[in-house]
Amino acid sequence: MIRLGVLISGGGSNLQAILDHVSAGTLDATIAVVLSNKKNAGGLARARAAGVPTVVIEHTEHAGREAFDAAIVTALREHDVEYVALAGFMRIVTPVLLDAFPMRVVNIHPALLPAFPGIHAQGQAFRYGARITGCTVHFVDRGTDTGPIIAQTAVAVLPSDTEESLSARILVEEHALFPKALQWIAEGRVTVASGATRDERPRVVVRDAATALGLGIAPSPPAASST
């Protein structure tokens, strides 16, 4: 069982997916607090309906990003948070938060990283003409969507897609993938391994990866006949 702090800025559909999995017993977590930088964020109502404590810390009331993140860290620690989930949190986090929760800040991104980092990733993929995009759950580091990847789900870009329809289908997969990755963390399956060389980035190792990912081993194709 892990204690989660969930950071939001908007409607909180990924928060709702996490709440639903906790309620269903498929995510071994307690949501200790939901924190928003916007007092009118729709996700706050979702949290309150589930009986989860909420905190609003408006970024406009702080002198800078570091001061804002320091206030967030204080609130998270007051609620004994172990891991931080960014569920549509539209702020760039600083080392103040990352150093307080090293490799314990988890984000969901609507693209197959390292492709299309940053904002409006669905639109980036659509305008680029990508045939495959998707979503990624990753640990957060000091770069822009550059942290070690925990899990990904691919989504095909259909000929009939608009940016809006593509975004909607990616969001469905986000709602499934984010709680699943958090459950792997809760089960102690996830570790971060340093790169073997100086140029190799840290990567996530998922214990019993085939089981965790729901992967089967495809049978080998029949050997070609010699006749």
Q: Which residues are the active-site residues?
A: 109
What ranges in 86-162 are assigned the alpha helix state H? 95-100, 121-128
Question: Within 13 Å of residue 144, how many CA atoms lie on the same side as its CB?
Answer: 9
Collapsing DSSP to helix, strand or coil, 23 comes out as helix
Cα distances (angstroms) measured from residue 200 to each of 187, 193, 194, 195, 196: 27, 11, 8, 5, 6
- Give residue for tokens 């307080």: 100
Q: Which residues have CB under 8 Å from 80's CB, separation 6+? A: 3, 32
Burial class of 85 by CB neighbour count within 10 A (0 to 12, 13 to 18, 19+): buried
Provide the CA 194 distance to its chain's centre, in angstroms: 21
